[in-house]
Structure 1
Amino acid sequence: MDKKIILAIESSCDETAAAVVVNGREVLSNIIASQIDTHKKFGGVVPEVASRMHIEAVDSVVKAALLEAGISIDDVDAIGVTYGPGLVGALLVGLQYAKGLALGSKKPLIGVNHIQGHISANFIEHKDLKPPFVSLVVSGGHTFIVHVKGYRDFEVIGQTRDDAAGEAYDKVARALELGYPGGPKIDKLAKQGNKDAIEFPRAKFQDDTLDFSFSGVKSAVLNYLNKAKMKEEEINKADIAASFQNAIIDVLKTNLFLTCERKGIKKIAVAGGVASNSCLRETLLEEGKKKGIEILFPSPILCTDNAAMIGSAAYFNYQEGAVSDLNINAKPNLKLGER
């Protein structure tokens, strides 16, 4: 098989990242400049600050990725870059840099959907993984169940109609004064609590859809806290965290395994930042064992935003001739499968 080397750039939110990936599955370098410590002070990502920090970091991150891989731009076959979905200002930084690099080096440019990138993280982690399979993409900005029919062929089966799961985690963590980012904080605290202590709602739609809604459970937690405050009652933060997390994971699990049942598929690949949540991993692995369904996860470093996953997706796009024009624009609301 011909060796195809992709240099990939990711800047859709609060990580400036660059990576060198061979044939979509072998990572030669994966450099990430995280902005978490900066945004922590604000309790969430500030788009203007994120864009400015991407501008400051992108050149050195790309150079570090090439250096660590032991190659120069001349050795690269194509340049992959995230062009959506995400924060428009943040996306533009990586995209404009990639365009300049592609133009200057006369290399093809490959635009990558960020969600496709998350799914593709599993192709790096699991070298033999091939479609079809079902993927759960769950992060701070996104919650999707996807039927992955091919490397570039996706059918969205379910998605959130309001808050993403990770967004609900962040908002509840803020209300519990746990700090940012909320996901890991709640996951850790929940281990000390009773998941059955409080019955928080699970949204189910009447129309037989496998979509999600997490604003109800988030509001229920906030209402619970407000009532306790008004009555000057003691609260058990660990029980609240465990019960909230149980409600979220219960819905994710139910819809995910229903998808497998309806599609007749016995393989699930989980992706996105929330995929590193220990309770989600345990719950899905346990349910998979019961139902005879294989459950795959990427390593934690490939769950959060990174450029290696973009390099993997870019390779499969490139193999199918999906090369982008240099006038490609950032699309903050890009849909999965949109061409």
Structure 2
Amino acid sequence: MRRVQGLSRPLLNARLLRSASPPIPSPAPSSSSLLRPPPSSWLSRLGANSREFLLPANGVLSSSFATAGAAAMAREAIPSFSMKELVLYQYAACPFCNKVRAFLDYNKLPYKVVEVNPISKKEIKWSEYKKVPVVVLDGKQLNDSFQIIETLQQRINPTEENSTGSAVVEEKEWCRWVDNHLVHVLAPNIYRSPSEALESFDYITTLGNFTTLERWTAKYAGAAAMYLVSKKLKKKHNITDERAALYAAANTWIRALNDRQFMGRNKPNLADLSVFGVLRPIWKLQSGMDLAKNTGIGAWYKRMETEVGESSEVKD
């Protein structure tokens, strides 16, 4: 994993996408059939995939994004000829998918999104790997958010591939902290109470890929199930007070910044993008609003919104 740098067209044209590859698999057509298997079966699968399916959808924040001078020019959108196609298979509710999106948006890498149905997963039936995120880059499949980001970052900045400086070590340590600690305090918070669980599943089912029957069933049955699951997650991760654990994690991050604008000092690095990515889906939920109100993370978060900018998703 490497520090985030400004994009360079020559590097990208020469390194990121060197040759043509087989076509990206076409997503399966939308299904209007009745829900199957029955709710008890698919709900158990939803619980089994709770690591992937914890958070409300990405892309809900709106703000005025400012990018100035040379920084804007360094990160301008990559021309279409630099790569044929990058497709992200995701759950809009997945924190790990949001990490990848934050990386792609910051680096202005154009990408298409295929929203995966979390019950049937028909959109990734072609893949032996059944979790999300999955990225298909000109026919080559990349799995797991950590590996996806690391692979793309090495191709964007190949000269940093063997960097071992203290800043790189710090960056890697905080990226691991996001995956090993921060994400584990989120689910107990967004499903802390029946009302918060229902708020989260209303969000998830509104923006996720569900049939009509799945949407209504998941909203209420899913909220009830995840409310109960969240109590088990609290015990598993030794959390006594959900909000206290969330605030402590945020304050740990702010203290680590040590008065820097970003962990990457004057611009975000991969650790900044990872923290921002997993927090972005909850930011407009009650848990996110409480987080902004009761910790000092809000100012950093606003700076990250500005730096990441608007989505580089390409819509048909």
- Normalising TM by the smaller chain, what interval? 0.3 to 0.5
TM-score, scaled to structure 1: 0.33
Greater fraction of residues in helix: 2
Query: Of the two, which has the highest radius of gyration?
Result: 1
* Bigger relative contact order, structure 1 or 2 (CA pairs below 8 A, ≥6 apart): 2
TM-score, scaled to structure 2: 0.35
